[in-house]
Amino acid sequence: MPMDELDFGPPDYKDMLPDYISKNYGKWKCHELLEPGVFKHVSETGDEVYTVRTGAPKFIASQTVREICDIADEYCGGCVRFTAKHSIEFMTPEKDNVEKIKEAVGKLGLPVGGTGNAMHSIVTCTGWVHCHTPATDSPGIAKAVYDELLPYFQRDDLPARVNIAVSGCLNMCGAVHCSDIALLGMHRVPPKVNDDVVSTACEVPSLIAACPTYAIKPKMLKQEDGTMKKSIQIDAPKCMYCGICYGICPGVPLADAKNDGVSVWVGGKVSSTRGGPAFSRLVIPFLPNNAPRWPEVVDTVKKIVDVWAAEAKPDERMGEWIERIGWKAFFDKMGFEFTEKHVDDYIFSVRDMNWGARLKGTELK
């Protein structure tokens, strides 16, 4: 393509909107959740639009995309939409189409749900399917969790929504850090230095500067021909396995079959509602990478959701519920062990200490 035809950006959204949306653009009055997975939105023009939301696999074959398009052509005026969390939305101005859409997506194997006070779609990164840094397979874990928690996706009577996210490594491409439940792949041993690769493919000074804990030191190697080769060495006790170095240099891989695994975090939230955004907090530092079904991870997630669902008050997201009952009660109820790893010791740690003598009754017993 000629240079001056580059840089054109996205197609015009106006060309992508169906009539029933264009006509009511900016005129919406209110909405209602008719049943799990089905919304009705009402416009000031009097128009109504019905939305059927479904889950989706992380990756989709073009074949499936075409089948989705078939449904959209038949019932949705030739338009389909994906949500901010990668669910699929089939919209229609005709109420009668709702059941038909449900039937059609059912045939395609796409579960309807993920709305309101339900488990919403799980955000996940590419993991072992396609990435070079993961400590676990996020799409694989997401699938196993979905299979077990499907009923929660299909109801809307939980205390509040529950957002689950999975990232294969600390880069957190799934943006797990503010999720109700976050599953995060963790390496646990320092990178294995491949001197050949480091010296040929990496810029040693940037590599040294990249390490947040200053664990990387330069190293000179005498080669057979007498010349010197520049590589690095890693001060193991200083390394916290963050993988930032591997992000810029292929010579320091961290993947380790025996020691990689999954950590579990809870209580995060994004929206500015009520108490506002909050981080997910560590509850289990390590669960084994038990592919293909990660039973330990799935059981843990299930347990967390079950106890929360049974005990939280209305509109209490995971973190809000824990804030009310206290972390001690949370660990006790779940049967999780609180270890020294749960106590922050990084830069801002001081601000997470529980200043003052303000202890709940349950914490004193």
Partner 1 sequence: MSLREANLEVKVVVETPLLDENEKGPWPSTVTEIKKTGYEGLLQIYELAFKDRVTHWAHGGMVGYPGYDAGVIGRMSDRHDILRDCHTLRLIEPAGWFYKTDALRKMCDIWDKYGSGLMNFHGATGDIQLIGVPTDNIIPAFNELAKEHWDLGGSGGDFRTASCCIGPARCENAMIDTLDIYQTLMTDPNNLDAMHRPRWPYKFKLKISGCPTDCNAGVARADFVLIGIWRDDMKVDQDEVKKYADGGLDIGYIASRCPGRAMEWDGETLTIDNDNCMRCMYCINKMPKALRPGDDRGATILLGGRARGRYGAFLGWPLIPFMKLEAPYENVQELIDTLTEWWDENGRTKERMGETIYRIGTGKMLVETGLKPNPTMVRAPRNNPFWFYLPGEVEE
Q: Give the interface with its own copies as residue ranges (CB under 8 A).
A: 272, 276-277, 347-348, 350-351, 355-358
The residue assigned the tokens 């169906």 is: 18
Which of 136, 269, 280, 308 lies at the binding interface for ligand SRM (CB under 6 A)?
269
- Taken in order 153, 157, 161, 163, the sign of the CA dihedral is negative
Say if CB 181 and CB 318 are below 8 A apart: yes
By CB under 8 A, the residues from 145 to 174 that bind partner 1 are 146-148, 150, 170-174
169 binds, among its own copies, ligand SRM, ligand SF4, none (CB under 5 to 8 A by kind): ligand SF4
**In Å, how far are 206, 239, 251 from 203, measured between CA atoms?**
6, 19, 11
Q: Decide whether 2 or 356 has the Cβ nearer to its own copies.
A: 356
Which one of the spans 11-19, 69-77, 118-126, 228-236 is the region binding ligand SRM (CB under 6 A)? 118-126
**Residue 30 binds to partner 1 (criterion: CB under 8 A):** yes
- What the block records as the tokens of 297 is 């991870």
Residue 156 is given by DSSP the state: -
Task: Report residue 265: phi and psi, to 5°.
Answer: -130, 145
Region 170-209 residues binding partner 1, contact defined as CB under 8 A: 170-178, 184, 186, 188-189, 206, 209
Letters for 202-241 (x = contact with ligand SF4 by CB under 6 A, - = none) are --------xx-x-xx-----------------x----xxx
Within 10 A of 98 (CB to CB), how many other CB atoms are there?
Answer: 22
Q: Which of residues 12-41 bind ligand SF4 (CB under 6 A)?
A: none
Residue list 287-326, contact with partner 1 (CB under 8 A): 289, 291-293, 314-315, 322, 324-326
Identify what 364 binds: ligand SF4, its own copies, partner 1, none; CB under 5 to 8 Å per kind. partner 1
Kindly tell me which of 55 and 253 has the beta carbon lying closer to ligand SF4.
253
152 binds ligand SF4 (CB under 6 A): no
> Toward ligand SF4, which CB reaches closer, 290 or 334?
290
Q: How far apart are CA 87 and CA 55, in angstroms?
A: 5
Strand partners, 278: 269
Residues 129-163 as b or e (16 or more Cβ within 10 Å = b): eebebbbbbbbbbbbbbbebbeebbbbbebbbbbb
- Least distance CB 43 / ligand SRM (angstroms): 12
Q: Is 133 in the site for ligand SRM (CB under 6 A)?
A: yes
Residue 271: how many CB atoms within 10 A of its CB?
Answer: 13
The residue among 130, 3, 122, 107 whose CA lies nearest residue 55 is 122
Total residues at interface with partner 1 (CB under 8 A): 164
Q: Which residues are CB-contacts of 45 (< 8 A; sequence separation ≥ 6)?
A: 23, 24, 27
Q: Is 171 exposed, middle or buried (0-12, 13-18, 19+ CB in 10 A)?
A: middle
CB of 80 to ligand SRM, least distance (A): 13
Q: Using the minimum distance from each CB to ligand SRM, give the nearer residue, 258 or 358.
A: 358
Q: What is the separation of C-alpha 20 from the centre of its chain, rounded to a whole number of angstroms?
A: 32
Pick one of partner 1, its own copies, ligand SRM, none as the site partner of residue 80 (Cβ within 5 to 8 A by kind). partner 1
**Residues 116-145: x where in contact with ligand SF4 by CB under 6 A, - otherwise, as a string:** ---------xxx---x-xx---x-------
Helix (H) or strand (E) holding 263: strand 261-266
Nearest-5° Cα angle at 297, 346 to 311 = 85
Among residues 27, 73, 76, the alpha carbon closest in space to that of 53 is found at: 76
Task: Give me the residues that bind ligand SRM (CB under 6 A), please.
Answer: 31, 83-85, 87, 114-116, 120-121, 125-126, 130-131, 133, 160-161, 163, 171-173, 175, 247, 269-271, 273, 317
Binding region for ligand SF4 (CB under 6 A): 125-127, 131, 133-134, 138, 167-169, 171-173, 190-191, 210-211, 213, 215-216, 234, 239-245
